[in-house]
Amino acid sequence: MRIIGAPSDYGANRRGVDMGPSAIRYADLAAGIEVTGATVHDAGDLAVPRAEERDPDREQPTVGKAKFLRETREVSRTLADAVADSLADGEFPLVLGGDHSIAIGSLAGTARDAEVGAVWFDAHGDFNTPETSPSGNVHGMPVAAALGKGSFADATWARADGLREENVVFVGLRDIDEHEREAINESDVTAFTMSDIDERGISTVVEEALDVASAGVDGVHVSFDLDWLDPNEAPGVGTPVRGGATYREAHWALEAVANRDAEDGILRSMELVEVNPILDQSNRTAEMAAELAASALGKRIL
Ligand SMILES: NC(=[NH2+])NCCC[C@H](N)C(=O)O
Ligand SMILES: [Mn+2]
Ligand SMILES: [Mn+2]
């Protein structure tokens, strides 16, 4: 497997998430994964436009309300190539963000030559378009971008060609914007909220999510936003929302991903995003991310 760092914070309104990859590495990511017997190859961080050289004028949206869309395009293209290269070389891509806008690149890369589904663990739907976004932050838009919604229809760099809408599944939603809600309800994606987890339990919801995401496709991308977890577990995120998944629910969910992969080999790529070391407490959110990656890749208690 190949670790690919994508230290971009152009999609979020809080600086610091660009330090996520190094914080997750520092939390013994590679050693945790090697316990499973996997060989870990760390490809380092991708070059992204330097934040210190940001031109304030370029923060002004060029399309709708989307900020830093040019920088996001550059990061997305670079990351899509890196993910596609990793798959072509037979190495599983594990992408470290960065804010969630980097998922545009991960999805474009993993869905370049294959039909794929996606399981999206997140408090947020990330289904805004430059037209519907209340904030203009592209980390609230990657799913819509990958599916070519709204003005993303003209952005070929953002589209994930083989990503099938009916195989996109959200798990654990609890903070959705007004127009985003309409768009999700009108689309063919499947959305499980935190209320669904309360009612039916994490195991039923995640098994069903994996069924839907993997039906009829070549593989599944797992996109894991650390703000899916409750802020008590993962305080180091830019957009925390109360009422998130517990520590055990999160491990269980990713162990279920690993179990399913052991059965049918569906796991194609994964990313861990939104770890912001500046907002964290003694790196515990990055440690959580590293632990969860190991669970997703097969680490077991016994
Ligand atoms: N990946 C994330 N943390 N996304 C947060 C999105 C928040 C809000 N829905 C927005 O569009 O701005
Ligand atoms: Mn997100
Ligand atoms: Mn989120």
13 ligand 1 Cβ < 6 A: no
203 ligand 1 Cβ < 6 A: no
Which residues are CB-neighbours of 198 under 8 A, at least 6 positions away?
Answer: none
pLDDT digits (tens, 9 = 90+) for 8-55: 999 999 899 999 999 999 999 999 999 999 999 999 999 998 766 766
Of the listed 99, 100, 221, 249, which one is catalytic? Answer: 100
Residue 134 lies in a domain: yes
Range of the domain at 178: 2-296
SS3 for 226?
helix
Distance CA 230, CA 240 (A): 8
Residue 21 lies in a domain: yes
pLDDT digits (tens, 9 = 90+) for 276-287: 999 999 999 999
For the chain, the domain total comes to: 1
Local confidence band at 59 (pLDDT 50, 70, 90 cut-offs): low
Neighbours of 149 (CB within 10 A): 21
Residue 302 lies in a domain: no
Average pLDDT, the chain: 96
Taking the model in full, what pTM does it have?
Answer: 0.97
The Å distance, Cα 89 to ligand 3 centre, comes to 31
Residue 266 lies in a domain: yes
SS3 for 203?
helix
Residue 301 lies in a domain: no
- CATH number of the CATH domain containing 156: 3.40.800.10
Distance CA 254, CA 296 (A): 4
pLDDT digits (tens, 9 = 90+) for 235-267: 999 999 999 999 999 999 999 999 999 999 999
239 ligand 1 Cβ < 6 A: yes
State the pLDDT at residue 175: 98
Closest by CA position to 102, among listed 207, 232, 223: 223
The Å distance, Cα 17 to ligand 3 centre, comes to 13
State the pLDDT at residue 52: 66
At residue 71, does pLDDT exceed 70?
A: yes
Residue 41 lies in a domain: yes
Residue 197 lies in a domain: yes
Residue 260 lies in a domain: yes
ipTM of the complex: 0.97
Angle at 171 between CA 43 and CA 116, to 5 degrees: 55
> DSSP H helical segments within the chain, as ranges?
20-26, 29-34, 69-88, 103-110, 142-146, 178-186, 194-200, 202-214, 247-264, 284-296
